[in-house]
Amino acid sequence: MADNTPFLQGINYWPIHKAMYWWKNFDPNEVNRDFSLLQQHGFKLVRIFLTWEDFQPRPDLISPAALEHLATTMDIAWRHGLQIMPTFFCGHMSGVNWMPAWMLTDYSAPQPFDIYAGGVIYTDRALRDCYSDEAVIEAQALQIASVCQHVHGHQSLYGYDLGNENSNFAIPPDRERARGWLDVMTSTIRSYSPGMPVTIGMHSEDLEQDRRMWPQDVARYCDYLCMHGYPSYLAWVKDPFDAHALPFLATVTEWMGGKPVLLEEFGAPTCENDQERAETAVLSLFPLFEEKSVKDFYQRALTLLQQEHILGALAWCFADYHPHLWDRPPLDRRIHERYFGLFRSDHSPKPALEAFKTQRLYEPAPEKVEKRHPWLQDYDREDFYSDPIGNLSAMYEQYRLHKGLEPQLANK
């Protein structure tokens, strides 16, 4: 890449007043206001999510209205100098699996996440197999083809994402079928939208567990790799503001897949003052943090990621959600999800936005990841999933040692 290639500083987007109900209640004026705000604060890349039931209410039908709303969103983005990364098959989002009703099947075993379909939360249903059910694979290919035909050539199109944390709603039966699915989906994109980069939104649990879509398999079909990381969710990280965990996750992903990595999600939920944080802590299973601390975390993370030759980083997420959504899934039960924004629900900026004002350049790695991190030679990427958590924990201690950092302190 050229020396002046920007380090991607982007953001994940849901509207303040709509959240995951955006496409059902699309308002171009709202998008225009939000994108104008992102432009003012220097953002260039916006990742958006195509909720599956809104874009594909039947296996053989792609919603014309949803396609037009997507095109309108991209028109607005172009007017504000923004690029758009659409994410297919959404899918898992904020602790709920959002699905069209035709993807539901009979209950077979306890599901890790509730399923939302047609305005109803299901705790007693399962999902059809995305990787083995030929009718589902055909439907997914239809969605990709339809979206790509509709937006290919648009000036705001950055590239495509094949899903958000797919393994949270569908784990492939085996690696072979995962590779087969990736082959079909990426081939369909390249048939209808040639020349556009493709990735998929892997997350830390894809490294912590063998979910049968390995980074080295993804790298065979995708142009670059992605990783999502939140230190407060990582059991093998002791400090919720340990920004070094983020470039570490990206480094392991690059080592396993052999391709550059984008940190596609990172962030932390905040409250504006101690009283609000204390009140919320009574309801929330996860901690909320002081805004100044999160600003410092963002600043350290962006600097460290650039130094580690990561393609860029996308904040999670645009804004806190308006209180009128708090009695609806997922915000009714996952309290912390209300507060991840870089803007508050009244559109006022949080301190963390300051971290994104510094314009950074992407610096290509001068040598392969094994040369930059010789301790990786002690590990075999094909044996990694024999003990993923054990390997990650040991590797992180070696990463910290290599960086001259102190060993992690045990939890008090």
3-state secondary structure 216-279: HHHCCCCCCEEEECCHHHCCCCCCCCCCCHHHHHHHHHHHHHCCCEEEEEECCCEECCHHHHHH
Is residue 395 situated within a structural domain? yes
Is residue 192 situated within a structural domain? yes
pLDDT of residue 3: 54
Residue ranges making up the domain that contains 30: 8-402
In sign, the C-alpha dihedral spanning 17, 22, 25, 30 is positive
Query: What digits encode the pLDDT tens for the residues 262-294?
Result: 999 999 999 887 677 766 766 677 889 999 999
- We report the CATH number of the domain holding residue 261 as 3.20.20.80
Q: Which of 270, 294, 298 has its CA nearest to residue 355? A: 298
Is residue 164 situated within a structural domain? yes
Is residue 408 situated within a structural domain? no
CB–CB of 115/192 below 8 Å?
no
Which positions of the chain have pLDDT values less than 50?
1-2, 411-412
Which residues have CB under 8 Å from 68's CB, separation 6+? none
This prediction has a pTM of 0.96
Indicate the Cα dihedral angle 9, 12, 15, 16, nearest 10°: -80
Burial of 48 (0-12, 13-18, 19+ CB in 10 A): buried
H/E element, 104: strand 104-105
Query: What digits encode the pLDDT tens for the residues 170-196?
Result: 999 999 999 999 999 999 999 999 999
Tell whether omega for the bond before 90 is within 30 degrees of 0, i.e. cis: no
Report the relative pairing of strands 114-117 and 120-122 from DSSP bridges: antiparallel
As for how many domains the chain has, the answer is: 1
Is residue 1 situated within a structural domain? no
Is residue 412 situated within a structural domain? no
Q: Which of 114, 108, 102 has its CA nearest to residue 139? A: 102
Q: How far, in Å, CA of 406 to CA of 397, rounded?
A: 9
pLDDT of residue 46: 98
Is residue 407 situated within a structural domain? no
pLDDT of residue 1: 41
pLDDT of residue 412: 37
Is residue 409 situated within a structural domain? no
